Structure 1
Amino acid sequence: MTTRLSTFALSAALIVAAGAANAEDLRIAFGDPVSAIDPQLNNHAGDHSVSQHFWSRLVAQKTEGGVVPDLAASWKNLAPNTWEFKLRENAVWTDGKPVTAEDVAFSYERAQAVPGSVASYKGFLRNVAKVEIKDPHTLVITSRAPDPLLPINISSIYVVSKHVGQTATTDDYNSGKAMVTDGPYAFVSYTPGDRIEMKRNDSFWGPKPEWEKVNYRYIANPAARTAALLSGDVDVIDKVSFSDIEKLEKNPKVKVWSYPGLRALIMQPSFNPNPSKFISDKAGKPLDKNPLLDVRVRKALTIAINREAIADRVARGGVTVASQWMPAGSFGYDPDRAKIDLDPNKAKALLTEAGYPDGFKLTMHVPGERYPLAPETAQAIAQFWTRIGVETQVEVVPFSVYSGAANKNEYAMSMIGWGNGTGEGTYAMTAILATANASKGLGASNWGRYSNPKLDEALAKASAEFDDAKREAIIKDAVKVVMDDVGIMPLYHYKNIWASRPDLKVVPWHSDRTVAMQVSKAK
């Protein structure tokens, strides 16, 4: 401990003299892995953060919820099933060609079928029946059913150029060959697993970016990100290590920026009707059925988790306890379900009632480098479950392996960090709760294959309800359905925490994204 503190103090001293090599350059160290810089491959947090530098969308999300103009200068709802969008006439690609309605139509087609995707964007476009081009800067989108959420859903679809993208592969984007972009920054280079380099896009139609060059560097380990900031190797870090927050807040050479977050860490039990190789009796013999199919077992597991202890002792105050997928105060949060009561004795009784008086053995899988504190949280949960008779082991798996296996429902118990990026409850309902149906773009990240007709019905109703108050009431009813059924087990919501040099200012940007545009020079 003494050595660590000494190193910390030495690094703190170094930051005084350190800084970006050029006052117009910015160096960011981020913690979410990037699967590719193809903006339509995977709906992953790290991929989104990168994409927002290079690409525009028809409309963009506001930090506080709702949407604002992006490529579309204006739009209107012509009829319940019809939306018209007017594109900016001064938007151009970095090769000088204009951005047109054809690019948008092509992008919406491509985003639904990118080869190799493990987290498709198709769910955002599931209700788009037709995209018509009226003229180069006007398009009309017809939905399959009345869709008040169409603007917020398409705010997650990045527009790529048709003249490049129609013959491009994901490898072409990764190599830079297809990186003809229209966002605030232009592509310089990409080193997978390491960094993305970019420069100011002088042809961007919007406000001029503050930073001339950006070095966007992936550092998976939170302690290593902190060390990089303190040594002056980077100017901003995200997902600050919870164990470092207090020390950084006391350091006059560092500024910590903490905001409430939307991303929830959630356990997903498997609803596979077949026996699981990751569940056995106490002697190690496979069970003849999956006990997680019994709601009493799922209820026992969720009420055995001491969420407050995890938030306090594991996360050290860097999270807020979750009782549902949306955080308090957000659109769709149900205050009637503000807490999941801790009751280990009732949990044991429920296991006995379900036919497992002696419990059973369970192996839980978590990604090692994807979600902050996921392995540590899993270990704490394993202890809570073991105390009620469910002897639990934790297997930590690289995300590149984990995502594929989890997506095939191979695990008995998996973990997902869900960003709730649209700022309202139907996003999770669509992607992690709806009955999985790839052709309809539903349940793309429903790794446990949860299926509840009442939830599916609520999603359909909410998706067609234009009255905000009525739509929120439907979402709240869906919360009751899912939490009564224990379709998922929410654990906590992350706080969004960044740290920077003291002469910089960092503000939130679209959920938990980390982008150069959220960083400015302190006034």
Structure 2
Amino acid sequence: MKRMKFLLAGVAASVIAMSSAQAADLILGSATEPSAIDPQFSRTGNNQNIAMQVFDRLVQTDPAINVEPALAVSWTNVDPLTWQIKLRDGVKFHDGNPLTSEDVIFSLTRAKDIPNSPAPFSGNVGSIDSMKAIDKLTVEIKTKKPTPDFIEQVGFVYIVEKKVAEGASIEDFNSGKAAIGTGAYKFKSWTPGDNLQLTRNDAFWGKKQDFDNVTIKFISNDASRVAALRSGAVDLIDAVPPGDVKTLQGISGLKVFSIASSRMIYLALDSARDKSPFVTDKEGKPLDKNPLKDVKVRQALSELVNRQLIIDRILDGSAEAAGQLVPKGVAGNDPSIAAPAMNAENAKKLLAEAGYKDGFGITIHTSNDRFPGDAEVAQALGQMFARGGLKVNGVVAQPYNVYTKGAGAGEFSAFIFSLGNSTPTSATGLRNLLMTANKDAGTGSFNRTKYSNPAFDDAMRAATAEFDVKKRVELLQKATKLVFSDVPVIPLYWQKVHWAGKANLSYVANMTEDTSATLAGIAK
């Protein structure tokens, strides 16, 4: 991890200066940039960080991922297949039009099929069978099967105005023409590669925001982002590199806001295809048979990983080793599943049993600007695999907006990705990441390797149809144990996340890693 080394003299004065006039504006330095302003285009964090400031969802979560009302004030399970959602009265879109049931029905229908989406919301709305407006503020929704976590699914789809969004293109949203929400801030402008500007929505239904204007500067380079905060060029930054946390904590006039997140960083493996594009023999020639299809090979790769070494050396301890999707404290976590320990000898034995005593060649792909240390972690994995007898043909790092397209198109064999669990249980994450991809059923929307395990699918269907909370958690734990023993992905760690800002600011650190002006304020 690269560390910043600056002289501290004179810095305090530069970072705390903020006049009352300036205090009404916020300049936020963000590590990532959206690929589109359409709030339904992609569920990836870079897009959702912008969406949550301009648009709203039916429900929201507190910092500990507990569900709270937002545009919906109540949701009632009338019978196992019927839900009634009551909308908040008096909510207006930024153009002055009122929120109605028709906007909600349109939004949930639209979210099912957004062209070219790299991370669609289809999994959130796949359980819907039919919808109708009971009145202007009441929506009745019929589901295809009993769905106890229904509000956790549909509730996280952003609501757009039917009159504005119907027929609107991606360009219409990006230009601002269709970027009309009900959120705390209004969209002003987006200059790709540079910044995005927002203005306060004084008609917002929720808490009044502290800032009149917000400028989000896109600064993907870690060192540059930290330097921008220290020089006073920005007021707040996200994705603070773990190696800079202690330094920033020691500077008068700055504060660091930290939390252990629910985001699992993992290595996805192309285990479904007979041939994989970046798997070769040790001379670099394509293999007729994909070794990643063999569970023993996948287990071996997992046991070649020294998770704690990655955490200590690259992340400065800012993570916890993972062996499953969600950490302790999130319903569905199975306490009996520990993070696999490194066992190189057993890994070599497993490779030999699978017919790869001498190893094989593989290329690892990764983003280089999505989360702290992503490219460095990929390099470390390459070194660990090489020590286990594999020939690592390369580690390819790409900007996240490019990388997600390649991952979604199935262009890679082994690639680092992450999944943030934004709901109170593991159900949504397991459904989206590891169930067989089926748009109509709303499963596997993040299943970029096309992994399919019928036994796991059955276990998940049983879990997600169970209304008894205790039984549902037990079924989720059973499904978790079943699928992670098959190693469709290699869990690496749950990361801790850090924001840093000027001392006269506050920020609500959150498990879902949201970076938003709505979570910032002027410290009281």
What range is the shorter-chain TM-score in? over 0.9
* CA apart distance, 1:210: 1.9
Matched, 1:297 2:317: no
- 2:207 maps to 207
- 1:437 maps to 438
The runs of 5 or more residues in structure 1 that have no matched partner are none
Q: Secondary structure at the match of 1:370?
A: coil
Moved more, 173-182 or 400-409: 400-409
- 1:198 maps to 198
CA-to-partner distance for each residue in 1:218-239, whole Å, 9 max, x for gaps? 2111211111111111111111
Task: Tell me the distance in 2 between the aligned counterparts of 1:88 and 1:273.
Answer: 48
Task: Tell me the distance in 1 between the aligned counterparts of 2:4 and 2:185.
Answer: 38
- 2:269 maps to 269
* CA apart distance, 1:70: 1.0
The equivalences for 1:106-505 within 5 A come to 106-392=106-392, 393-505=394-506
Q: Secondary structure at the match of 1:260?
A: strand
* CA apart distance, 1:7: 5.2
Preserved CA contact (<8 Å) 2:67 2:423: no
Task: Tell me the distance in 1 between the aligned counterparts of 2:498 and 2:213.
Answer: 23
Q: Residue 440 of structure 1 aligns to which amino acid in structure 2? A: A
Task: Tell me the distance in 2 between the aligned counterparts of 1:337 and 1:8.
Answer: 45
Change (3 A) 1:4 1:290: closer
CA-to-partner distance for each residue in 1:161-220, whole Å, 9 max, x for gaps? 011111311110110111222111112111223222111111112221122211122211
- 2:59 maps to 59
Change (3 A) 1:350 1:12: farther
Q: Secondary structure at the match of 2:261?
A: coil
- 2:518 maps to 517
* CA apart distance, 1:405: 2.2
Preserved CA contact (<8 Å) 2:257 2:509: no
Q: Residue 478 of structure 1 aligns to which amino acid in structure 2? A: A
CA-to-partner distance for each residue in 1:270-324, whole Å, 9 max, x for gaps? 0233222411222223222000111111111001100000000011112111111
Task: Tell me the distance in 2 between the aligned counterparts of 1:145 and 1:319.
Answer: 38
TM-score by length of 1: 0.96
CA-to-partner distance for each residue in 1:473-499, whole Å, 9 max, x for gaps? 111111211221111101111112111
Preserved CA contact (<8 Å) 1:11 1:227: no
The runs of 5 or more residues in structure 2 that have no matched partner are none
Q: Secondary structure at the match of 1:320?
A: strand
CA-to-partner distance for each residue in 1:17-58, whole Å, 9 max, x for gaps? 367862111121122331111101111101111111111122
Change (3 A) 1:440 1:468: same
Task: Tell me the distance in 2 between the aligned counterparts of 1:234 and 1:74.
Answer: 39
Task: Tell me the distance in 1 between the aligned counterparts of 2:511 and 2:304.
Answer: 34
Q: Secondary structure at the match of 2:189?
A: strand
Q: Secondary structure at the match of 1:394?
A: strand
Q: Secondary structure at the match of 2:417?
A: strand
* CA apart distance, 1:260: 1.1
Preserved CA contact (<8 Å) 1:19 1:234: no
Q: Secondary structure at the match of 1:438?
A: coil
Q: Secondary structure at the match of 1:229?
A: helix
- 2:23 maps to 23
Q: Secondary structure at the match of 2:449?
A: coil
Task: Tell me the distance in 2 between the aligned counterparts of 1:360 and 1:19.
Answer: 61
Preserved CA contact (<8 Å) 1:423 1:511: no
Change (3 A) 1:475 1:444: same
Task: Tell me the distance in 2 between the aligned counterparts of 1:96 and 1:17.
Answer: 37
- 1:43 maps to 43
Task: Tell me the distance in 1 between the aligned counterparts of 2:483 and 2:11.
Answer: 48
CA-to-partner distance for each residue in 1:121-142, whole Å, 9 max, x for gaps? 1100010111110111111111
Change (3 A) 1:450 1:490: same
Preserved CA contact (<8 Å) 2:262 2:511: no
Q: Residue 508 of structure 1 aligns to which amino acid in structure 2? A: A
Q: Secondary structure at the match of 2:488?
A: coil
Q: Name segments (4+ residues, structure 1) moved above 4 Å.
A: 7-13, 18-21
Q: Residue 60 of structure 1 aligns to which amino acid in structure 2? A: Q
CA-to-partner distance for each residue in 1:85-129, whole Å, 9 max, x for gaps? 111221111221111000000111111122221211110001011
The equivalences for 1:62-73 within 5 A come to 62-73=62-73
Change (3 A) 1:334 1:292: same
Q: Secondary structure at the match of 2:234?
A: coil
* CA apart distance, 1:439: 3.3
Change (3 A) 1:20 1:311: farther
Q: Residue 47 of structure 2 aligns to which amino acid in structure 1? A: D
Moved more, 408-417 or 33-42: 408-417
Q: Secondary structure at the match of 1:107?
A: helix
Change (3 A) 1:409 1:129: same
Q: Residue 294 of structure 2 aligns to which amino acid in structure 1? A: D
Q: Secondary structure at the match of 1:439?
A: coil
Identity of aligned residues (%): 38
Preserved CA contact (<8 Å) 1:262 1:423: no
Preserved CA contact (<8 Å) 2:239 2:371: no
Change (3 A) 1:492 1:288: same
Preserved CA contact (<8 Å) 2:259 2:510: no
Moved more, 4-13 or 240-249: 4-13
TM-score by length of 2: 0.96
Moved more, 502-511 or 4-13: 4-13
Change (3 A) 1:153 1:277: closer
Preserved CA contact (<8 Å) 2:271 2:294: no
Preserved CA contact (<8 Å) 2:32 2:218: yes
RMSD: 1.8
Q: Secondary structure at the match of 1:142?
A: strand
Task: Tell me the distance in 2 between the aligned counterparts of 1:264 and 1:33.
Answer: 21
